[in-house]
Amino acid sequence: MKKLLLLFTLIFGTHAAMFAQVNVYVTNTSSPAACDGSAFLDSNVVATNISWMGNGAILQNGGTFIGNLCAGTYIVTYNTSNGTSMTSTFTIGSGSGNPCSSLMLDVTVNNASSASACDGSAQISAYGGNAPYTYTWNNGIFGINMNNLCVGSYYCCVTDANGCSTCDSVLVMDSSSFDSILIFNNNPFPNGTVAGILATSSVEDCTLDYQNVGSASVTATTPLSIDSVLVTWTLYDTTGLAVATYNVVYYVPAPSVGIFNLSLIVYCSQKSMNYNTIQVNDQILIEQNSLLATLHKDFKVVNPFNEELKLFIPEMGSYQLTMHNLDGKKVFEQFAISKGWISFPVQHLEKGMYMLTISDGIKNNVSIRVIH
């Protein structure tokens, strides 16, 4: 069975990197002359022996976070949990734009014919960056194709000529176990013009009764920044009772507004009979976050933070501060009527990466990635 599976390794919940190469998340400099950029590794993957390099020199040994970076291209090397040595290239842009935000990766999968057959395959293609592209798989193979794949998960990355990189996960399943795949198609904007298609996200859930799911759709959207949105998917049983909810972060070409198609795939790789995969297709409307957009670059956070979170608010106003962890769970909420530096105690938070969302209460939001 041929399927398109873009397993979006998410940040906030869905993006649990399953193999080798680690994503590098960057914050651009505030201006071309400033050296206040930063970068950190995806906290979902254990990386050791980390070394940060730039201009042919070692800038820092150790640590998943590096700051005080000027605009330019950098390299980080590290070892994965199985001892494999890996290298990731990333770019710090100047100003508020992300020079790598347009690079996208598509993955097409042909599932294995049975649980024991290693005859699956996958093909990747890149677009939106600058050719030529370099394609790498977690087993060290280079190129757009992977053949003779057994049932399981794989990882692939693409790097363009500017050093921008993006990665995705690939799930090869046992096609003989599919009685069928449940597919739910929703079209909430039947007469609207579609501005784009967001990468398909995948969630493994083996606690769900797949046979009892009667409908599924997007039930909420929360803008996180100019290039990301938190989407809540809800699955209902045949009586209309909610049986599962998934919070997934999707990245959008920034700045973009309009109607976007998106999909969620829920599966259980351990399930060998009846339904074990549900695909939900839906649409969301992304509106311009205009009021706080001009202030986005002026919000500052002491990052990484320890016992307290320090935030600089550039303009007097009433703000709601909300923080989510990588699973999309809200771990902190605070209201502030203030200007300048303010502090919040956060000793209860576990070490890791979070997304701090600042809202003005009029559906205008900005978001800042923070590390504890």
Say yes or no to pLDDT of 108 above 60.
Answer: yes
Full set of structural domains in the chain with CATH? 178-286 (no CATH), 293-371 (2.60.40.3080)
Nearest to 171 by CA among 203, 134, 143, 142: 203
**pLDDT over 50 at 117, yes or no:** yes
pLDDT at 16: 31
Counting Cβ atoms within 10 Å, is residue 190 exposed (0-12), middle (13-18) or buried (19+)?
exposed
pLDDT, one tens digit per residue, over 48-105 is 888 888 877 889 888 888 888 888 888 888 887 777 778 888 888 776 555 666 677 7
In angstroms, the Cα distances linking 352 to 8, 11, 29, 162 are 20, 11, 23, 29
pLDDT at 9: 30
Q: What pLDDT does residue 138 have? A: 75
- Segment 284-288 mean pLDDT: 76
User: What integer pLDDT is reported at residue 18 of this predicted model?
Assistant: 34
The CA-CA-CA angle for residues 36, 37, 39, to 5°, reads 140
Residue range 161-177: average pLDDT? 75
How far apart (Å, rounded) are the C-alpha atoms in residues 76 and 86? 8
Higher pLDDT, 294 or 337: 337
Q: Which residue has the higher pLDDT, 290 or 32?
A: 32
As given in the structure block, the two tokens for residue 311 are: 């935030």
Residue 173 pLDDT > 70, yes or no?
A: yes
Predicted pLDDT at 10: 29
Average pLDDT, the chain: 77
Average pLDDT of the residues in 117-126: 85
Give pLDDT, residue 257: 74
**Most trustworthy range by pLDDT among 10-14, 74-78, 215-219:** 215-219
Distance CA 68, CA 344 (A): 24
Count the neighbouring beta carbons within 10 Å of the beta carbon of residue 369.
20
- Choose the weakest-confidence range: 95-104, 152-161, 218-227, 352-361: 95-104
Rounded CA-CA distance 39/242 in Å is 39
Task: Residue 255: name the closest of 294, 281, 283 by CA.
Answer: 294
Is pLDDT at 310 greater than 80 in this prediction?
A: yes
pTM value is 0.38
- The answer to whether residue 345 scores a pLDDT higher than 80 is yes
Task: Give me the mean pLDDT over the 256-282 stretch.
Answer: 81
Q: Which residues of 127-160 are buried (b: 16+ CB within 10 A; e: fewer)?
A: eebeeebebbbbeeeeeeebeebebebbbbbbbb
